[in-house]
Amino acid sequence: MKASLAHARKQSSRHAVILPSLFWSRTRPDFYAVTCRLGADGIRFRSAIIPNPGEHLTCSIGLVGTLEVRVAHTAERAFTVKPAPGRQHNTAIARTLVELAGRQSRRLDRHGTSPRIVPRRTEVAVALADGTVLKGRLAEVSIARADVYLAAPVAVGAKVRLGATEAVVAHSFRNGIGAYFLSPLDPDLLDEGLVL
């Protein structure tokens, strides 16, 4: 099983896989993160909360499942985990991540981006977990994510609601954020009339 997991991780290292995730433990409050990639060194996440090396956590990855992990490496705004040994479903989770990475890769067009639109109505309320609501302006939207201009910074890994759509902040840029939806949008709804 260990060999299968290592093989699956090695195969997926060529592709990013972007999925919202939730972490928790008995000694740490819940926090959100976003997967970056699955590689030979483990699963890498981006987050505003960086756990300690060696820390044991439970991780729920959207569309994939829940697994017990140990923090292997940390960096600024990122950390890498390895699944706890002896868990039979680790190989299945690795395979699912590889499959999702492939699907995300196949969605890319010849310019390397997934189909995106700019809605006619760009104003969007961005609600934070503490109840704060910020005025945002949509830069572009795909079925998986949205880029939003904001006057105030929001931490990577923070859970937000864009209009009525829940998301997790995956990265920040000057005057805005990129957030991945907890559930992808219906592709048939992706047109200029879209309202989140």
CA separation for the pair 120, 106 (Å, rounded): 27
2-106, CATH topology level: Thrombin, subunit H (2.40.10)
What pLDDT sits at residue 85? 79
If 0-12 CB within 10 Å is exposed, 13-18 middle and 19+ buried, where does residue 71 land?
Answer: buried
SS3 186: coil
**pLDDT of residue 112 exceeding 70:** no
Our measurement of the distance from residue 92's CA atom to the centroid of its chain's CA atoms, rounded to an integer in Å, reads 19
CA 61/CA 67 separation, integer angstroms? 8
The per-residue pLDDT for range 130-142, each reduced to its tens digit, is 999 999 999 999 8
CB atoms closer than 10 angstroms to residue 112: 7
Residues in the chain: 196
pTM of structure: 0.61
CATH 2.40.30 matches 123-189: yes
Which residues, in sequence order, are bridge partners of residue 10?
A: none
CA 26, 73, 9 angle in degrees (round to 5)? 100
What is the average pLDDT across 4-32? 70
Write the pLDDT tens digit of every residue in 68-88: 999 999 998 899 999 887 665
98: closest CA among 2, 190, 5, 8?
A: 8
Q: What ranges do the domains of the chain cover?
A: 2-106, 123-189
**pLDDT tens digits, one per residue of 91-107:** 777 778 877 777 666 55
Residue 45 CA to its chain's centroid (Å): 8
Integer Cα distance of 45 and 156 in angstroms: 10
